[in-house]
C-alpha cells in the first residue's frame, strides 16, 4: 500500500486492517496524531485524509490506500508555522499539548471550509475533541483569531478581555 | 414541570505544597562562557507551565533576557531532586529553589564583573543582560563578556544551587493527625459564582455562567495562570455535574467500561466563563507567588450545589450532581423529607497567625 504523508510518498508494509493511526505512529514515525481513546471518542488522532479531518484510529489503512494524509507536521514548521499554529502559540492554547494536534487539524479544516470567528460555531466545529487542561477558552480564542489570517498579528498577545486583575505591587 | 434558575457562590482556601512532610525541590544553575544560563531543576512540566515560570524567575533574578535561559528537566540523573508536580507546588516550592540558585549566580557574576571592572561588586547591578555601575549606567559590560572572562580569564565556573524544604512536622496526636507546627504554606483564597438552570422534570443541571476569582499571590505569567483558572472552570464543571468513575462507590457497579463513558465537558458544555485574578502577594513565595494549580478546580462544585439549592430548594450533598441525584432529592423534598441537608463544618483560618508564622521563620528553612 502507498500513502502520501505530508507531501512525501511512503510505502506501507503494515497489515491492511492496522489503524491508520498506528501506521503513522509506529511504522512511519509520524507521532503528532495521538492515541487518546483508540475508539473515536477524543479527537486526538485527527488527521486530514485527502483534505478532510478524519479519526485515524478508526480507519483501517487499506481503506485509505493511495490517499494523501496531512498531519500538523505538514501544516507548518517551527520556523514557518501556519496561521492556526501561530495563533495557538500566541493565545497559549496548549497546556499539556496532547489534544493540540487534533485541535489544530480540526481548526484548519474549519477555517479552510470558510468558518467564521463566531465562538459558538467554532465550539460546534471542535465539539468532538476533548481537552482536559484549557477549559477550551484559549483554544476558541486562537481559532477565532486564526480565521482572520491576513489581519492576524502574531506580535499581539490578546488577553481575555473579560479577565480582570486586581491588586499587585512592584 | 419547569426549568428553574438559581445562583450560588462558594469560597475556598488552599495551601501550597505538603503541610506536614518535607517535600524538597532543588535546582542548580550554571552560566556558560557566552552568558547563557542553564537551569537544572527536577520539576516536571505537565502543561502547567513550570518550565516557563521557573525560567522567568531565573531570568528576572539574575537580570538576563528570558531567551538566554535554557531549562533542563529532561531526566532525573542530571537534575537535582524535586518531589514532583503536585500539591500546587511547582511555582511556589520549585520556584523558590531556582530563585535561590539564581541569586547565588547573580552574586558570582557581580564578583567576576567587579574584578574585570575593578570596582566593588556592591556597586554593580545587572539589568537585561548587562552589568553596570549603580548610578552610572554608561559604565557597563555584557553578562556574556563577564561570563567569558570568568571562564577564560579567572578560571571560575559561575554556578549556583538552591533548595526549598519545609521541615518534617512530628505528629503529636495520632488520632487526629495533629502536628507540632502550624500548617502553613502560602494560603490562597478563591471564590466562584455560578448561575444554573435546573430542569425539575429531567433533573438536568445546566451551568449558564461562571465567574471565578482567584488570589494567585503574584501572576508571574498572567496568561498561563489565566489558562489554569479557565481550565479549572472546565474541570470543576465536570466534577460538579458530569464526571463519575464509580457511580455507586464503593460498589463497582455500572463503572464505565470505556473511555467514552467517563464524561468530561466538551466545548459545547462550557458556560460563559469570567476570570478575576487577585494579586495578594505571599510573604514567602517567589516574587509573592502562590500555587493555585489544584484549587483551580475546587471552587466550582460547591457553587453549583448552592445554585441548585437556590433554583429548586434541594441540597445535593454528593458530586457530581447528576440528573438522578437531583430527581431523588426532589422526590424526598416533595415527600416532606428535608434531612438531606448535611451540616457544614465551620473552619476558621487566622491569616495573621499564618503570616506571622512565616515571618518568624518557623515553617521554612529559608
B25-164 in CATH: which number? Answer: 3.30.365.10
Per residue in B39-58, pLDDT (tens digit) is 999 999 999 999 999 999 99
Whether A3 and A10 have beta carbons less than 8 Å apart is answered as yes
Per DSSP, the three-state class of B275 is: strand
B353: pLDDT confidence band, cut at 50, 70 and 90? low
Measured between beta carbons, the chain A residues lying within 8 angstroms of B278 are 165-167
DSSP string, A46-106: EEEETTEEEEGGG-BGGGGTT-EEE-HHHH--SSS--HHHHHHHHTT--SS-SSHHHHHHH
User: Which residue is closest to A125 within chain B, CA to CA?
Assistant: B267
Alpha carbons A130 and B132: distance in angstroms, whole number: 51
Which of B204, B294, B331, B351 is an active site residue? B294
Is A150's pLDDT higher than 80?
A: no
Per residue in B208-217, pLDDT (tens digit) is 999 999 999 9
Q: Dihedral sign, CA of B364, B72, B15, B224?
A: positive
Select the residue of B223, B235, B279 nearest A168 (Cβ to Cβ): B279
Whether B277 and B229 have beta carbons less than 8 Å apart is answered as yes
Per residue in B217-239, pLDDT (tens digit) is 999 999 999 999 999 999 999 99
At B248 the pLDDT is: 84
User: Is it true that B3-16+186-359 and B25-164 share their CATH fold?
Assistant: yes
**Closest listed residue to residue B364, CA positions, set B57, B79, B17:** B17
Tell me the domain boundaries of chain B: 3-16+186-359, 25-164
Per residue in A129-138, pLDDT (tens digit) is 999 999 999 9
Task: Say whether domain B3-16+186-359 belongs to CATH 3.30.365.10.
Answer: yes
Domain A83-151, second-level architecture: Orthogonal Bundle (1.10)
Rounded mean pLDDT of chain B?
Answer: 89
Q: Interface pTM (ipTM) of the complex? A: 0.88
Whether A77 and A89 have beta carbons less than 8 Å apart is answered as no
Q: How many CB atoms lie within 10 A of CB B175?
A: 6
Is A167's pLDDT higher than 70?
A: no
Is B202's pLDDT higher than 80?
A: yes
Scored b (16 or more CB within 10 A) or e, B128-150 reads eebbbbeeeeeebbebbbbbbbb
Q: Do B274 and A127 touch (CB under 8 A)?
A: no
Higher pLDDT, B172 or B265: B265
At B178 the pLDDT is: 81
Per residue in B121-141, pLDDT (tens digit) is 999 999 999 999 999 999 999
User: Which residue is closest to B44 within chain A, CA to CA?
Assistant: A96
**Closest listed residue to residue B236, CA positions, set B329, B318, B299:** B299
Rounded mean pLDDT of chain A?
Answer: 90
| Cβ partners under 8 Å of residue B90, min gap 6 | B43, B45, B48, B50, B53, B54, B291, B293
**Cell for B38?**
542553564
Whether B227 and B264 have beta carbons less than 8 Å apart is answered as no
Highest mean pLDDT among B67-76, B84-93, B99-108: B99-108
Q: Is B257's Cβ below 8 Å from some Cβ in A? A: no
Q: Do A39 and B259 touch (CB under 8 A)?
A: yes
Residue A48 bridge partners (DSSP): A53, A70
At B8 the pLDDT is: 95
Q: In this complex, how many residue pairs, one in chain A and one in chain B, have their CB atoms less than 8 Å apart? A: 107
Test mutation, B230, B232, B238, B268, chain A, max A CBs within 10 A? B230
Alpha carbons B14 and B188: distance in angstroms, whole number: 5
Tell me the domain boundaries of chain A: 2-75, 83-151
Known catalytic membership, residue B352: no
**Cell for B37?**
544560563
Q: Which residue has the cell 472552570?
A: B233
CATH number for domain A2-75, candidates 3.40.640.10, 1.20.1560.10, 3.10.520.10, 3.10.20.30: 3.10.20.30
At A27 the pLDDT is: 97
Measured between beta carbons, the chain B residues lying within 8 angstroms of A128 are 266
Percent of chain A with pLDDT over 90: 80
Q: Is B52's Cβ below 8 Å from some Cβ in A? A: no
Select the residue of B46, B267, B274 nearest A123 (Cβ to Cβ): B267
Is B361's pLDDT higher than 70?
A: no
Query: Which parts of B246-330 are beta strand (E)?
Result: 272-279
**Closest listed residue to residue A58, CA positions, set A35, A75, A78:** A35
Alpha carbons A76 and A68: distance in angstroms, whole number: 16
At B366 the pLDDT is: 33
Test mutation, A118, A135, A161, chain B, max B CBs within 10 A? A135
Q: Do A138 and B47 touch (CB under 8 A)?
A: no
Whether B80 and B27 have beta carbons less than 8 Å apart is answered as yes
Q: Is B258's Cβ below 8 Å from some Cβ in A? A: yes
Amino acid at each position: 500500500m502507498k500513502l502520501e504523508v505530508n507531501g512525501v510518498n511512503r510505502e506501507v508494509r503494515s497489515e491492511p486492517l492496522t489503524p491508520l493511526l498506528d501506521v503513522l505512529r509506529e511504522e512511519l514515525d509520524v507521532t503528532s496524531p495521538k492515541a487518546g481513546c483508540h475508539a473515536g471518542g477524543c479527537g486526538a488522532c485527527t488527521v486530514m485524509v485527502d483534505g478532510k479531518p478524519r479519526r485515524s484510529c478508526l480507519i483501517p489503512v487499506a481503506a485509505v490506500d493511495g490517499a494523501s494524509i496531512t498531519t500538523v507536521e505538514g501544516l507548518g514548521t517551527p520556523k514557518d508555522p501556519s496561521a492556526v499554529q501561530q495563533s495557538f502559540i500566541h493565545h497559549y492554547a496548549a497546556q499539556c499539548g496532547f489534544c493540540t494536534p487534533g485541535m489544530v487539524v480540526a481548526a484548519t479544516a474549519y477555517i479552510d471550509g470558510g468558518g467564521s470567528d463566531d465562538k459558538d460555531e467554532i465550539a460546534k466545529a471542535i465539539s468532538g475533541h476533548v481537552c482536559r487542561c484549557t477549559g477550551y477558552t484559549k483554544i476558541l480564542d486562537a481559532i477565532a483569531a486564526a480565521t482572520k489570517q491576513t489581519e492576524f498579528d502574531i506580535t499581539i498577545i490578546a488577553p481575555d478581555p473579560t479577565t480582570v486583575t486586581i491588586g499587585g505591587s512592584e | 414541570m419547569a426549568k428553574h434558575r438559581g445562583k450560588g457562590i462558594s469560597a475556598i482556601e488552599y495551601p501550597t505544597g505538603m503541610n506536614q512532610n518535607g517535600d524538597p525541590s532543588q535546582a542548580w544553575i550554571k552560566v556558560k562562557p557566552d552568558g547563557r544560563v542553564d537551569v537544572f531543576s527536577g520539576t516536571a512540566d505537565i502543561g502547567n507551565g513550570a518550565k516557563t515560570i521557573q525560567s522567568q524567575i531565573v531570568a528576572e533574578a539574575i537580570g538576563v533576557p528570558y531567551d538566554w535561559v535554557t531549562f533542563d528537566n529532561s531526566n532525573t540523573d542530571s537534575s537535582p531532586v524535586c518531589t514532583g508536580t503536585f500539591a500546587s507546588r511547582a511555582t511556589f516550592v520549585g520556584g523558590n529553589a531556582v530563585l535561590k540558585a539564581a541569586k547565588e549566580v547573580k552574586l558570582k557574576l557581580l564578583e567576576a564583573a567587579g574584578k574585570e571592572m575593578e570596582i566593588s561588586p556592591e556597586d554593580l547591578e545587572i539589568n537585561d543582560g548587562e552589568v553596570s555601575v549603580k548610578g552610572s549606567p554608561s559604565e557597563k559590560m555584557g553578562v556574556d563578556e563577564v561570563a567569558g572572562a570568568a571562564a577564560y580569564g579567572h578560571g571560575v565556573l559561575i554556578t549556583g544551587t538552591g533548595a526549598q524544604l519545609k521541615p518534617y512536622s512530628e505528629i503529636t496526636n495520632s488520632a487526629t493527625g495533629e502536628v507540632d507546627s502550624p500548617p502553613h504554606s502560602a494560603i490562597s483564597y478563591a471564590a466562584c459564582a455560578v448561575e444554573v438552570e435546573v430542569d425539575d422534570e429531567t433533573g438536568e443541571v445546566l451551568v449558564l455562567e461562571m465567574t471565578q476569582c482567584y488570589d494567585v499571590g503574584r501572576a508571574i505569567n498572567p496568561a498561563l495562570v489565566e489558562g489554569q483558572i479557565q481550565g479549572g472552570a472546565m474541570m470543576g464543571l465536570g466534577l460538579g455535574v458530569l464526571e463519575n468513575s464509580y457511580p455507586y462507590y464503593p460498589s463497582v457497579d455500572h463503572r464505565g467500561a470505556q473511555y467514552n463513558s467517563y464524561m468530561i465537558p466538551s466545548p459545547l458544555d462550557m458556560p460563559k466563563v469570567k476570570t478575576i485574578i487577585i494579586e495578594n502577594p505571599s510573604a514567602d513565595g517567589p516574587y509573592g507567588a502562590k500555587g493555585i494549580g489544584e484549587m483551580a478546580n475546587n471552587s466550582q462544585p460547591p457553587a453549583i450545589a448552592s445554585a441548585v439549592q437556590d433554583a429548586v430548594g434541594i441540597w445535593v450533598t454528593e458530586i457530581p450532581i447528576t440528573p438522578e441525584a437531583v430527581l431523588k432529592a426532589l422526590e424526598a423534598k416533595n415527600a416532606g423529607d428535608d434531612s438531606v441537608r448535611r451540616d457544614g463544618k465551620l473552619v476558621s483560618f487566622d491569616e495573621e497567625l499564618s503570616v506571622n508564622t512565616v515571618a518568624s521563620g518557623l515553617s521554612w528553612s529559608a
